[in-house]
Structure formats: structure tokens, C-alpha cells
């Protein structure tokens, strides 16, 4: 059995609008230490992350503690929202969950996000069969994968995990078939 610990990043500094370089807040950095506490004794064999700073920073202490390298894969990055920010962003998200093909100019639809994430996950599962894996990612990216394996994971479920930063959920796999899941950590923060 392969165990994948998906880590949704800790609280980011939303004053920084560059999605790729957005750091964690000081509180987010402190909360990332709890990720280490939860995962350090899980027999982790491999660590993968989105290349975005907030995801890497969330698992950096874990990697240092375990003396392991963080591998990155562009396919685990967050949804490209086409530069959308602002007060109506929640409406945009809701439209995307209502129609997985909906997107704005230069943005990705949820079907595209899910496809690239699932393809990247299947590659990791093939290359690291029967290992314990950490994958640091993002709320929308993770949610599209959860929806793939658990179609009942819908917009209402996504709204709940929007406030979980960091969040760890373990999915268990036999080959690339998901055979179970377990929430390992929830730290609630208000999504702003």
C-alpha cells in the first residue's frame, strides 16, 4: 500500500499577489511546524511539492528534520485564475465548481487542474509504489484530486477546507486505486 500525505499549505501572505512567490505569514510559518510534528514519525520516503513558495515553506521544516530533499513538480501548482483577485473571487470559484469547464481568459478550468494533478499523482504512485509520500499543494489543486477519487467532494466541501491552513489528508492507494483516506491535521484560519 502507498500512503500519500497531501499537505495544503499554511496561511499565505495575501498582500503579495504574485501567486508563485507568495510567502507564508509569520503565523503560517509557526503553523508549518505542526506539519512536521504530525509527519516526522510516519516513515516518509519521498517529499514532493508544488514549486510555489508557500507550499515549499510549509514542508521545509519537515524536510530539514528528516534530512530529505524537496522535489518539485509544476503540475501540483495551484489553479491559474487568470490574474483574478478581489472581492468577487468567491463568485468566480463558485462558477468553476458549478461547471468544471468554466474559466476566464488566460485562466484554467477545474477539469484542466484536475487532469494535470491526477496525471502527476499517477506518475508519483508508479515511481514510489508502497512508499509513504508527502505532496505539498494548494486548496483548489487538492480539492480537484479529492473530487476525482470522491465525487461527492463538492463545492460545499471545498468551502470548508478553504479555511484549513495547513491541512493534511492521507489517501491510501493500491496501485493507483484510492482505497481509503484519513484527515491527519486541520488548523483553521479565516480565508481572506
- Helices (H) then strands (E): counts for the chain: 6, 6
Q: At what angle do helices 26-39 and 53-66 cross, to 10 degrees?
A: 40
The span from the CA of 160 to the CA of 180, in Å, is: 20
Number of separate domains in the chain: 1
Instruction: Return the CATH number at 18.
Output: 3.40.50.1240
**pLDDT by residue (tens digit) across 141-180?**
999 999 999 999 999 999 999 899 999 999 999 999 999 9
pLDDT-derived band at 57 (thresholds 50, 70, 90) equals: very high
**pLDDT by residue (tens digit) across 77-113?**
988 766 655 557 778 888 999 999 988 888 899 999 9
What is the extent of the structural domain holding 157? 2-188
The span from the CA of 55 to the CA of 73, in Å, is: 11
The confidence score (pLDDT) of residue 79 equals: 84
- The pTM of the full predicted model, rounded to 2 decimals, is 0.94
Mean pLDDT lowest among 30-34, 50-54, 156-160, 181-185:
156-160
In the numeric block, the cell 500512503 is attached to 3
**Averaged pLDDT, 125-140:** 97
**pLDDT by residue (tens digit) across 9-49?**
999 998 888 888 999 999 999 999 999 999 999 999 999 99
The confidence score (pLDDT) of residue 82 equals: 63
Amino acid at each position: 500500500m502507498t500512503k500519500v500525505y497531501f499537505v495544503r499549505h499554511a496561511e499565505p501572505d495575501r498582500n503579495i499577489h504574485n501567486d508563485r512567490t507568495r510567502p507564508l505569514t509569520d503565523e503560517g510559518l509557526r503553523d508549518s511546524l505542526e506539519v512536521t510534528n504530525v509527519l516526522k514519525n510516519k516513515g516518509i520516503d519521498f517529499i514532493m511539492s508544488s514549486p510555489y513558495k508557500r507550499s515549499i515553506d510549509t514542508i521545509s521544516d519537515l524536510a530539514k528534520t528528516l534530512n530529505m530533499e524537496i522535489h518539485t513538480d509544476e503540475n501540483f501548482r495551484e489553479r491559474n485564475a487568470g490574474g483574478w483577485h478581489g472581492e468577487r473571487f468567491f463568485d468566480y470559484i463558485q462558477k468553476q465548481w458549478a461547471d468544471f469547464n468554466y474559466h476566464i481568459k488566460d485562466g484554467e478550468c477545474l477539469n484542466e487542474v484536475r487532469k494535470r494533478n491526477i496525471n502527476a499523482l499517477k506518475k508519483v504512485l508508479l515511481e514510489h509504489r508502497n512508499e509513504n509520500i508527502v505532496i505539498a499543494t494548494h486548496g483548489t489543486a487538492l480539492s480537484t484530486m479529492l473530487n476525482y477519487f470522491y465525487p461527492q467532494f463538492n463545492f460545499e466541501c471545498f468551502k470548508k477546507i478553504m479555511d484549513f491552513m495547513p491541512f493534511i489528508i492521507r489517501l491510501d492507494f493500491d496501485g493507483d486505486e484510492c482505497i481509503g483516506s484519513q484527515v491527519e491535521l486541520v488548523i483553521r484560519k479565516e480565508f481572506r
